[in-house]
Amino acid sequence: MLQAFTILLGFQLAGEVLVRVLHVGIPGPVVGMTMLAIGCIASVRLRKMCEAAATMLLGNLSLLFLPAAVGIVQFLPLLQKQGLAIGAAILGSTVLAIAVTALVFRFVVHHMKLEDRE
């Protein structure tokens, strides 16, 4: 577990260093994730090493968003001024984005006959 956690932090650190050196607007952890994904595809051993820690972290991913979610309370007055416009935009756009993504995904899978046969 400690080994795995060190690997995860190492890839995050490498990602943070890389985005700062290359001046790209991508978060360091996303770059770290991409690099570790390539590493885990290339080496099953690396993947097995990280597996338990990844399962633990991802199984409790909701918890990790709680501090940021509590933080929105201090910004709620900001939302109130344009409350109706913002509320309608977020609700309408979220419904549309989920529906369009899921339907297009299913349509292309169906059209190309890519359904799971397992």
Partner 1 sequence: MSQDVVRLWVYLSATPLLWLFATLIAYVLADIFARATGRHPLANPILVAMIPLAALLWFTKTPYTTYFEGAQFVHFMLGPATVAIAVPLAAEFKRMRRLAVPILVALFAGSLTAIVSAVGIAWLFGAPHVVLASLAPKSVTTPIAMGIAALVGGLPSLTATMVVVTGILTGVIALPLTRLLRVHDHAAHGFASGLAGHGIGTARAFHDSQVAGTFAGLALALNGLLTAVLVPLVMKLVP
- Least distance from partner 1 to the Cβ atom of residue 22, Å: 14
CB 52, min distance to partner 1, A: 10
17 binds partner 1 (CB under 8 A): no
| Footprint on residues 61-90 left by partner 1 (CB under 8 A) | 61-76, 78-79, 82, 84-86, 88-90
Please, which residues have CB within 8 angstroms of residue 27's CB and are 6 or more apart in sequence? 15, 19
**Cβ distance to partner 1 smaller for residue 17 or 41:** 41
Contact residues for 44 (Cβ-Cβ < 8 A; gap 6+) = none
Provide the H-helix boundaries in the chain: 2-22, 28-42, 44-59, 61-64, 66-71, 76-81, 83-111
**What residues from 31 to 50 belong to the interface with partner 1 (CB under 8 A)?**
32-37, 39-41, 47, 50
